[in-house]
Structure 1
Amino acid sequence: MTDRIHEFANDGLTFAVTDEGPVDGDVVVLLHGFPQTSRSWGEVCKRLQASGYRTLTFDQRGYAPTARPRGRRAYRMSRLVSDVAAIAEATGGPVHLVGHDWGAAVAWSTAAGRPDVVRTLTAVSVPHPKAFLGSMPISSQILRSYYIGLFQLPWLPEWMFRQPRLIDRMLGKTGMTPEQIATVHTEIVASGSLSSAVNWYRAMPFASPRYIRKVAAPTTYVWSTGDTALGRRGATMCARNVSGPYRFEITDGSHWLPEEQPDLLHDLIVDRVAG
Structure 2
Amino acid sequence: MSQIITGPAAGRTGDPFADLLHVDAGELNVAYVDAGPADGTAVLLLHGWPYDIRSFGEVVPRLVDAGYRVLVPYLRGHGGTVFREEDALRNGQQAVVAADAVAFLDAIGVDRAIVAGFDWGARTADIVAVLHPERTIGLVSVSGYLIGSQAAGAAPLPPAAEYQWWYQFYFATERGRVGYDRYRNDFAKLIWRLASPRWAFDDATFEASTAAFDNPDHVAVVIHNYRWRLGLADGDPRFDEVEARLAAGPVVSVPAITLEGDANGAPHPDASAYAAKFSGRYEHRLIAGGVGHNLPQEAPGAFAQAIIDVDGMGR
Unaligned residue ranges in structure 2 (runs of 5+) = 1-19
Per-residue deviation at 1:158? 4.5
Counterpart among 176, 185, 196 of residue 156 in structure 1: 176
Per-residue deviation at 1:107? 0.8
Deviations 1:20-65 (A, max 9, x none): 1111110000001001222221210110001111100111112144
Moved more, 94-103 or 160-169: 160-169
Are residue 245 (structure 1) and residue 263 (structure 2) matched?
Answer: no
Per-residue deviation at 1:270? 0.5
TM-score of the superposed pair, with normalisation by structure 2: 0.74
Per-residue deviation at 1:256? 1.3
Residue in structure 2 matched with residue 236 of structure 1 by the alignment: 272
- Note closer, same or farther for the CA distance 1:192–1:88 as it changes in structure 2 (3 Å cut): closer
Moved more, 256-265 or 171-180: 171-180
Are residue 174 (structure 1) and residue 195 (structure 2) matched?
Answer: yes
Are residue 213 (structure 1) and residue 246 (structure 2) matched?
Answer: no
Deviations 1:119-169 (A, max 9, x none): 2110113533259x5998479544322322323333414414634666644
- Note closer, same or farther for the CA distance 1:70–1:44 as it changes in structure 2 (3 Å cut): farther
Are residue 223 (structure 1) and residue 260 (structure 2) matched?
Answer: yes
Are residue 256 (structure 1) and residue 276 (structure 2) matched?
Answer: no
Unaligned residue ranges in structure 1 (runs of 5+) = none
Counterpart among 94, 105, 113 of residue 112 in structure 2: 94
Relative contact order (C-alpha < 8 Å, sep 6+): which is higher? 2
C-alpha RMSD of matched pairs (Å): 3.0
Q: Which amino acid aligns with 1:202?
A: R
Native 8 Å contact 1:219 1:272 kept in 2: yes
Q: Which amino acid aligns with 1:195?
A: V
Native 8 Å contact 1:30 1:55 kept in 2: yes
- Note closer, same or farther for the CA distance 1:35–1:116 as it changes in structure 2 (3 Å cut): same
Residue in structure 1 matched with residue 4 of structure 2 by the alignment: none
Distance 2:104 2:88 in 1: 23
User: Aligned residue pairs: how many?
Assistant: 268
Residue in structure 1 matched with residue 7 of structure 2 by the alignment: none
Higher helix share: 1
Residue in structure 2 matched with residue 274 of structure 1 by the alignment: 312
Partner SS, residue 229 of structure 1: coil
- Note closer, same or farther for the CA distance 1:148–1:48 as it changes in structure 2 (3 Å cut): same
Partner SS, residue 46 of structure 1: helix
Per-residue deviation at 1:8? 3.2
Native 8 Å contact 1:161 1:167 kept in 2: no
Are residue 109 (structure 1) and residue 127 (structure 2) matched?
Answer: yes
TM-score of the superposed pair, with normalisation by structure 1: 0.84
Are residue 194 (structure 1) and residue 218 (structure 2) matched?
Answer: yes
- Note closer, same or farther for the CA distance 1:46–1:197 as it changes in structure 2 (3 Å cut): farther
Moved more, 243-252 or 166-175: 166-175
